[in-house]
Chains A and B, each alone.
Chain A
């Protein structure tokens, strides 16, 4: 541990830093050497077999992917330069990708293609279909164009209030669209799904179905007790308190199962990266 009371770092602080720097440098040199060797052998194979040209690029791609995977995983041991490099590349590539994606999938086909279809067809989208109503399309496209400029106005030193209007439009339309869907699919449909017979019978044999009955009772008890827990107009004591405590149990079990499923997902992601490293990079599986 470093001495917080001293302004001068002691020798016991400097020594581990130097050794770690040497460790990371050694790992970088080792990795690059093996990479160069593998790339050179692939390039040599390319001369003998023209089909190997693709393999050369695939080799480079696999090595880059392996480096990125190991670089990110190395953070589990300790923060280090490899991790910083990989993290920066990931952030940079992601930001650039989403910017380019937004431009080509939203602005070009939904705005520019309607404002200037001939130009867009000539320089960007040769397969752009010809609209039957280009005048109407162009007129309607001016609405998002103007709203877009108004939204960007918040970057200007004055007149920030102008950006509030398109923001209000976005919030209003989104709320309106989602409100109806939520009421239909969540509130009404879920209420109907909850109101069901507590004693269940098998549809085919009409015999008493014990486990379906347990499921129905548990479901209704869970809904009512959790709703009681979030009902704050009555003090949580006596019967209401007991029901609310049951609701807490249902909530805890729900959170636990959600956590378990999340863990399962994360383990799958790690397993897939290991599969990549063992199969495609090292070729040992």
Chain B
């Protein structure tokens, strides 16, 4: 039942309480579409967790072997691929050797994409087998990590091309996760960063640095691990944008720089959509309080 303003027509606040939710959908769509069309960009200021992630990769000696696990699939790529791209570029620029793997079936394809669009694009001199290796996906969830903590060759007998690990110089001497200087899990859920903490970091607490990139949904589960068990953490697309700023600041690229700036591109719509949401929450609460104070049913 609508309240009336005395002239017979419902008041603005009463109409606001009964608004068709499709108008809100439309407003939300426009708040995201317009910043993309207008190419709105806002400055990003790196936070402590993005800095810690950057510093962890920087602190590892040049030429170290790092493991990057693509523990997500295309459903989360919008949030995680930007930070994965920046991390691959960062590791390669720092001179680290990169071993790619995946705990999610489609993570392998996303790792291949990062190799093709970032590693080979910005570091064409790197050679397969000596500078980077793609181990691909293995079924088994946390069981894969548990076995890798003690015996990597038992878990991964070959790479994705079917080459035995013993024939690849980069991984021939790798026996366990303790042989990596740093492990990075780009994680969208189970199995992911939490399992890397539970089964790899706990088994060898001081052997390697562990960093992660996470979707927004599971950040609250991972935050307790930082900074004791996780040396760095990238929080959703915001963390990706901050991390991109740090990587670009130290390792700029001359062409196709947009491939390393997708996180910042997606922060424009974030800001406008969040402003809209805050405004709607405030308006909704005002309408509710006004309705109650006038003795309305809603």
Chain A contacts to B: CB under 8 angstroms: 76-77, 101-102, 105-106, 110, 126-127, 129, 177-178, 181-182, 184-186, 189-190, 192-193, 254, 257-258, 261-265, 267-275, 278, 284-285
Contact = CB atoms under 8 A, between A and B. Distances in A.
B236 A185 contact: no
A61 B161 CA distance: 27
B240 to A, nearest CB: 9
A265 B236 CA distance: 7
Given A101-B105, A185-B201, A271 B37 contact: no
B221 to A, nearest CB: 9
Q: Is the interface of A mostly helix, strand, loop or mixed?
A: helix
B237 A268 contact: yes
B198 A185 contact: yes
B266 A268 contact: yes
Nearest to A193: B228
A62 to B, nearest CB: 15
Given A105-B139, A185-B229, A264-B237, A278 B37 contact: yes
B137 A261 contact: no
Contact of B270 (A193, A258, A271, A274): A271
Nearest to B224: A190
B137 A264 contact: no
Given A110-B139, A182-B198, A264-B236, 9 more contacts: A76-B25, A77-B25, A102-B139, A105-B138, A181-B198, A193-B224, A267-B274, A271-B78, A278-B36
Q: Among the interface residues A76, A263, A267, A278, which one has the most CB atoms of the partner chain B within 10 A?
A: A267
Contact of A261 (B157, B219, B277): B219
Nearest to B138: A105
A268 B217 contact: no
A76 B25 CA distance: 7
Contacts of B158: 127, 129
A79 to B, nearest CB: 13
Contacts of B139: 102, 105-106, 110
A76 B197 CA distance: 39
B265 interface: yes
Interface string B72-112: 00010111000000000000000000000000010000000
A144 to B, nearest CB: 12
B215 A265 contact: yes
Contacts of B29: 270
Given A105-B105, A265-B236, A275 B79 contact: no
A261 B223 CA distance: 12
Interface residues of B, number: 50
B238 interface: yes
Contacts of B198: 178, 181-182, 184-186
Contact of A285 (B28, B37, B79): B37
Interface string B232-266: 00011110000000000000000000000000011
B52 to A, nearest CB: 15
Contacts of A262: 216-217
A272 B274 CA distance: 16
A261 B237 CA distance: 10
A271 B75 CA distance: 13
A267 B217 contact: no
A263 B277 contact: yes
Contacts of A190: 224
B105 A264 contact: no
Contact of B79 (A181, A257, A263, A269): A269
Contacts of A105: 105, 137-139
Contact of B220 (A258, A264, A270): A258
Given A185-B229, A265-B217, A284-B37, A272 B78 contact: yes
Given A193-B228, A264-B236, A264-B238, A77 B22 contact: yes
B79 A76 contact: no
Contact of B217 (A192, A261, A274): A261
A261 B236 CA distance: 8
A187 to B, nearest CB: 11
